[in-house]
Amino acid sequence: MIEAAFHYPKGFLWGTATSSHQVEGGNRLNDWWAWEQQPGRILQGARSGLACDWWGGRWKEDLDRAAAGGQNAHRLSVEWSRIEPEPGRWDPHALDFYRELLAGMRERGIEPMVTLHHFTNPLWLAEAGGWEDEGIAARFEAFTRKTVAALKDLTAFWCTINEPNVYAYCAFANGVFPPGRKDIRAALRVMRNQILAHARAYHAIHEIQPQARVGIALQYRGMTPHTANPLDALAARTQARLFNDLIPLALTDGRLRFPVGRGRVAQAARTQDYLGVNYYSYDHVSFDFGRPGELFARRFYPKGADLSDIGWNANMPEGMARAIRWANAFGLPIYITENGIEDEADRIRPRYLAQHLHQVWKAANTGVPVKGYFHWSLLDNFEWERGWTQRYGLWALDPETQRRTERPSARLYAEICKENGITSGMVRRYAPEIYPVLFPG
């Protein structure tokens, strides 16, 4: 049988993504550990516990699996609360751990992308007001300087803040992240402080390491009006401008475009060397007068969507194309810094993976500067307020025994990474139901 293939540009980065609190385990120093101890905060009363036991050294075997699977990059985060457990006190043992981890990646032929903030904060910082406090930008800059100085010989690829839009929303608008606020005005203040913190970190990193690549990872959610009603269009447009556009536009020209009011953060202008895009699904949007805290919008998946286990994600690969077109308007190199679906049985992930990567291939081979893809995630991990109810890993994890089990999608992804492409044979083997879609005729 004749084989067809979609190949990616030479030098394309293939990896997976993780974050410190979700995989390291045993960290009692941050606000998330404290949050997990409060009844009702986490689904099924779950706690992170050992997580994936990376702090105990099991990162070695997991990165062995990543390297054996053809991955040449990995996105991870460092834990601020371990590096600075008290204000102004730096823990050399934590920095040594991250040096060992990054050196281990290098030894395995894996390029690290290091995220400086992925949702968690030191307890002392949270108690001092966290991201609502005006002093946060200076504190984040100090942490950034210490971390970059310690790790700069092992990586020059930095992500300052993961999903600042999601963090502001979940922690300060709908209250499912600590500190559990439900105040849209607080969320907008936090977004402004995140922009300031990113800007100070960006300039600090380039002062220490002029050749560095520095950006953010922003979750992109496409917003489609559910009907032709102008109110639905208004609701979708307002959601998109706040959730998707506000932060990267501010990092482009230093202007803040809040739903009500404008402002400037001049030092934030031109502070992205690349744009990281986290894409999972997109939403239909209806105007809803009963949701002022959601800016009068209700978001949902359309009827008949290809849904994940608990309906959290939908397989909507056309949204990946929209996300890349949106990102390309900023004129920067693009990395897909997260993309995946929760799927314990691995029934949907193979087609999700192939269909989304097909959209990435289309963009990368038509002049769009998509430089790499990081799948979420390498293995199952602690999924924040959803605990252990969602399984995003290419490798399954039993958190009680720490046993890892390879899923079929891990084998598919390994074949894609090694081939630097998707072949018709791969699709026939792992996702035959979409073969006629990807390889018609």
The whole-number pLDDT of residue 292 equals: 87
Q: Are β-strands 223-225 and 73-77 bridged in parallel, bridged antiparallel, or unpaired?
A: unpaired
By C-alpha distance, which of 381, 238, 386 is closest to 311? Answer: 386
SS3 392: coil
Beta-carbon contacts of 344 under 8 Å, excluding residues fewer than 6 positions away, are 309, 391, 396
The whole-number pLDDT of residue 294 equals: 85
Question: What's the domain count of the chain?
Answer: 1
Rounded Cα–Cα distance for residues 6 and 81 (Å): 43
Query: What is the Cα 102 distance to its own chain's centre?
Result: 19
CATH value at residue 317: 3.20.20.80
Token couple for 143: 């942490």
The helix-helix angle for 184-208 and 164-172 (nearest 10°) equals 150
The whole-number pLDDT of residue 103 equals: 98
Q: Are β-strands 73-77 and 13-17 bridged in parallel, bridged antiparallel, or unpaired?
A: parallel
Residue 285 parent element (H or E): strand 283-287
Rounded Cα–Cα distance for residues 403 and 58 (Å): 11
User: CA dihedral in degrees (359, 169, 175, 37; nearest 10)?
Assistant: 60
Backbone angles phi, psi at 155, to 5 degrees: -160, 150
Contact (CB, 8 A) for 233 and 296: no
pTM summary value: 0.98
Domain extent, residue 100, equals 5-438
Kindly give the parts of the chain with pLDDT less than 70: 1-2
Contact (CB, 8 A) for 118 and 19: yes
SS3 126: helix
Q: 40: number of CA atoms within 13 Å, CB side?
A: 2
Q: Strand locations in 39-156, DSSP E?
A: 73-77, 111-117
Backbone angles phi, psi at 225, to 5 degrees: -55, 135
SS3 116: strand
Beta-carbon contacts of 259 under 8 Å, excluding residues fewer than 6 positions away, are 238, 241, 242, 295
Q: pLDDT of 264-277, one tens digit each?
A: 999 999 999 999 99
